[in-house]
Amino acid sequence: MFENFDFEIIVTSIPFLIEGMGLTLLLTVLAIVGGLALGTVLALCRLAPYRWLSLFAGSYVNFFRSMPLILVIFWFYFLVPFIVGRPVGGFYSVLVAFIMFEAAYYCEIMRAGIQSVRQGQVHAGQALGLTYRQNMRYIVLPQAFRAMIPILLTQAIILFQDTSLVYVVGLRDFLVAADIVANRDNRLMEMFLTVALVYFVMCLAGQLGIRKIQKKFATG
Amino acid sequence: MNYNWDWSVLFCFVEDPVSSCTQPFFYWIVSGFGWTISVAAAAWVIAFSLGSVIGVLRTVENPYLRGFATVYVTIFRNIPLLVQMFLWFFVFPELLPDEAGKWVKRGMPLPEFWTAVVCLGTYTASRVGEQVRAGIEAITQGQRYAAMAMGLRPVQVYRYILLPVSYRIIIPPLTSDFLGVFKNSSLALTIGVLELTAQTRQIEEYTFQGFEAFTAATLLYIVVTAIVMAVMRVVEGRVVIPGMISLGAK
Amino acid sequence: MPMIEMSSVNKWYDDFQVLKDCSTQVAKGEVVVVCGPSGSGKSTLIKTVNGLEPFQEGTITVDEISVGDPATDLPRLRARIGMVFQNFELFPHLSIMENIKLAQLKVLNRTDDESAKRGMELLDRVGLVDQADKFPAQLSGGQQQRVAIARGLAMDPIAMLFDEPTSALDPEMINEVLDVMTALAEDGMTMMVVTHEMGFARRVAHRVIFMDEGRIEEDCTKDDFFGTARGERAQEFLSKILTH
């Protein structure tokens, strides 16, 4: 089964794979930053006292959560150059797709986090004479933040895995880099098993890290 | 932005590359939608049954069974689904004995379809397993004691008490896992299943009028999601246990 | 031959010893009340009788069957011993009648008609016939606990174990449960009852066991216990309980 497993091909393609991983990580980080920014705005809209604002944010979230990420990628892959009016390169189109898509999920996580703070806490803050802003700043958000952190980080790992879907538009991320080598040298087994192992180790390390952070929050 | 929307494109007749019948593009969307539903439904059957087993094993006393289930969940949740798809399609047949490998690659009917179903099913089973476990763990130790004190055997305790209660309280997260498998079925396009998303991409390639097809597909996904959520809300209302609340969707 | 016999039972949770050299017996038809401060091990003790809590040393036999023997078919033994819990533990997804029928159907293999008939008899006995089709959450705590007793009795047990059956109840519901238990005792049921209800002990019990820090400190007749023959710890416990 593994008698003609070719380790050589894995070793020689390491620089090429690292380049791919670079794109994967860049896309992940930029999508997290952009997604968090847009997601925060959406969450504030969602909880805003204006009905039309929260309705808009709610529809946005439901819309993107109903769609497969691949379709979203296709949409923006064609839509972004169209709106900008000139070709912008696949990376930017896909980045926009990820930011728009992730923002919907981040918005929900933040909304749930803020709403998980018990009403009694809000009342206690008000009873002390805190203003709405002060109450948010000193009472609600610090507690909400603790509840959200592990979930936001877990979502980041999911996003890291999801960036592999750029395969459908051929961006040269980690998986596509491996796919290129695999098909060029007809070494599919070696390359795909390597990809799986690398992703597995990175995600597992991330997961264990999250668990540590969670424990820290729980005890302190 | 000056895109020339032309919905008539979807009703242009064209020769289907697979069946070589002449059909409107619109029909490609219908057929893709059919494959999307088939993949999702078949994968869900695997996800639900295997996931229930995994979830139960995560809660049993035997350390080996528990360890097995934990390893299963860890592996399937930490490898990107698309990579899993490639492992099933390109690598798995190579790992089988010669004859079996050949059969999986060429012998069995609809190899791409069934590979996608198995991949999505086993992946989603790891998520369902975690929900089932959470549901069982939300049930108090006292309930388990009460069931055992009546003389029920371990399998009966799960069959009549723990699982029925667990399923009822995890309906919201299970619904979101089902919608997950429905949306994730689009990954089947990477190994050549012509499901909904693949068909819209194909129409784009044929006509250079992609947004019409994308819009149609988007609407279909949204409508199905809305229907499933509405149905599950009714189901939840029907089977709700008086005095119990369900676990929130993740 | 006693119905329940424990000798030198020791149990640890990791390093912490919860039961220390516990020995006692319950004769057929006898009602034994087990009391003691919280954390004294009384709930653990009663759960070892039907093997819900395993123990590391000593022997327990019920109707001459050894509970600790790995060869014993515990579910089969448990089916012959009824148990009532502090938090009722009715199954929330099943109606009252289904709660009572479940083990009759699945463990005793009775027919649906037989189990329903037996269920109705017992609901009548605890005064809840009209509640048969309701769900547990729709009943008061006292009603739920009466159903739980009926559910135990439906198995025609040789003994009944009660683990603080009234301590989760509002005060006004305690008596309706104690009345059912008293009637059961008068019918000659073998009972082991963990409870703080000293009035019940005085009226119904034959013997009282007092536990403290995992040890059986007193094991005597009701009259001795409520008379003068008890030790210092039991004295202290009783004075606290009776004056609160």
pTM score, two decimals?
Answer: 0.87
β-pairing verdict for C16-26 and C4-13: antiparallel
CB contacts, 8 Å: B165 with chain C: 91-93
- Which residues in chain A (52-81) have CB-CB distances under 8 A to chain B? 63, 65-71, 74-75, 78-79
pLDDT digits (tens, 9 = 90+) for C184-237: 999 999 999 999 999 999 999 999 999 999 999 999 998 888 887 677 788 888
β-pairing verdict for C57-62 and C65-66: antiparallel
Q: For B74, which of A82, A151, A204 is closest by C-beta distance?
A: A204
Whether residue B122 lies within 8 A of chain A, CB to CB, comes out as: no
Q: What's the start-to-end Cα distance of chain B, in Å?
A: 37
- The whole-angstrom distance between B90's CA and the closest CA on chain A is 7
Higher-pLDDT residue of B14, A156: A156
Evaluate whether C104 touches B151 at the Cβ level (below 8 Å).
no
Q: Residue B249: is its pLDDT beyond 70?
A: no
Q: What is the pLDDT of residue C143?
A: 96
Three-class secondary structure assignment of C178-193: HHHHHHHHHCCCCEEE
Residue type, position A165, single letter: L
Q: What is the dihedral of CA A120, A124, A126, A127, to 10 degrees?
A: 130
Segment B111-139 mean pLDDT: 96
Which residue do the tokens 């039907």 mark? Answer: C50
Q: In this complex, which chains have at least 3 CB pairs below 8 Å with chain B?
A: A, C
CB contacts, 8 Å: B140 with chain C: 87, 89
Segment B228-243 mean pLDDT: 86
Q: Which residues pair with C24 in a beta bridge?
A: C6
Q: For chain B, list the domains and their CATH numbers.
A: 7-225 (1.10.3720.10)
Query: What are the angstrom distances between the C-alpha of C21 and each of C58, C62, C210, C217, C229?
Result: 8, 18, 14, 11, 22
User: Residue B210: which pLDDT band, with cuts at 50, 70 and 90?
Assistant: confident
Higher-pLDDT residue of C59, B98: C59
d(CA B131, CA B154): 20
Question: Mean pLDDT of residues grouped by 10 in chain A (220 residues)?
Answer: 74 92 97 94 88 95 96 93 87 96 95 87 85 83 86 95 95 94 90 96 95 77
pLDDT digits (tens, 9 = 90+) for A144-173: 888 899 999 999 999 999 999 999 999 999
* Record: fold of A7-219: MetI-like fold (1.10.3720)
Whether residue B90 lies within 8 A of chain C, CB to CB, comes out as: no
Beta-carbon neighbour count of residue C95 at 10 Å? 17
Q: What is the pLDDT of residue B250?
A: 41
d(CA C206, CA C223): 9
Q: What is the pLDDT of residue A138?
A: 86
pLDDT digits (tens, 9 = 90+) for A77-100: 989 988 888 888 889 999 999 999
Segment B82-88 mean pLDDT: 96
Which residue do the tokens 């199905």 mark? Answer: B224
Question: Which tokens sit at C214?
Answer: 């995992």
Q: Which residues pair with C192 in a beta bridge?
A: C32, C161
DSSP code per residue over B84-108: HHHIIIIIHHHHS-HHHHHIIIIIS
For A159, which residue in chain B has the nearest alpha carbon?
Answer: B80
Q: Residue B148: is its pLDDT beyond 50?
A: yes
Segment B104-121 mean pLDDT: 90
Phi, then psi, of C9 in degrees rounded to 5: -80, 125
Which residues lie closer than 8 Å to A68 by C-beta, 6 or more apart?
B183, B184, B185, B186, B197, B221
| Burial (CB count <10 Å: 0-12, 13-18, 19+), residue B55 | buried
Q: Residue C98: is its pLDDT beyond 90?
A: yes
Whether residue A83 lies within 8 A of chain B, CB to CB, comes out as: yes
Beta-carbon neighbour count of residue C228 at 10 Å? 7
Q: What is the mean pLDDT of chain C?
A: 93
Taking an 8 Å cut-off on Cβ atoms, the answer to whether B83 and A75 are in contact is no
Q: What is the pLDDT of residue B248?
A: 55
User: Residue C72: which pLDDT band, with cuts at 50, 70 and 90?
Assistant: very high
Which DSSP letter does residue B160 get?
I
Cα four-point dihedral sign A169, A172, A174, A176: positive
Taking an 8 Å cut-off on Cβ atoms, the answer to whether A71 and B214 are in contact is yes
Which of B136, B143, B150, B159 best probes binding to C when mutated, by most C CB atoms within 10 angstroms? Answer: B150
What is the ipTM for the molecules in this complex?
A: 0.91
Q: Residue C99: is its pLDDT beyond 60?
A: yes
Whether residue B221 lies within 8 A of chain A, CB to CB, comes out as: yes
pLDDT digits (tens, 9 = 90+) for B175-195: 999 999 999 999 999 998 999
CB contacts, 8 Å: A27 with chain B: none
DSSP code per residue over A63-117: HHHHS-HHHHHHHHHHHHHHHHTS---HHHHHHHHHHHHHHHHHHHHHHHHHHTS
Question: Which tokens sit at C190?
Answer: 């073998």
Name the interface residues of C facing B (CB cutoff 8 Å): 47, 50, 52, 75-83, 85-87, 89-93, 102-103, 106-107, 135-138, 151-152, 155, 161
Largest CA distance in chain A: 74
Rg (CA), chain A: 21
> What's CA A21's distance to the chain center, in Å?
16
Helix axes A51-66, B210-239, angle to 10 degrees: 100
Q: For C89, which of B142, B156, B243 is closest by C-beta distance?
A: B142
d(CA A88, CA C87): 65
Q: Kindly report the CA angle at B12 between B10 and B16, in degrees rounded to 5? A: 95
Q: By mean pLDDT, which of A143-152, B19-28, B63-72, C37-46 is the weakest?
A: B19-28
Which DSSP letter does residue B137 get?
H
Q: Tell me which H or E stretch contains C18.
A: strand C16-26
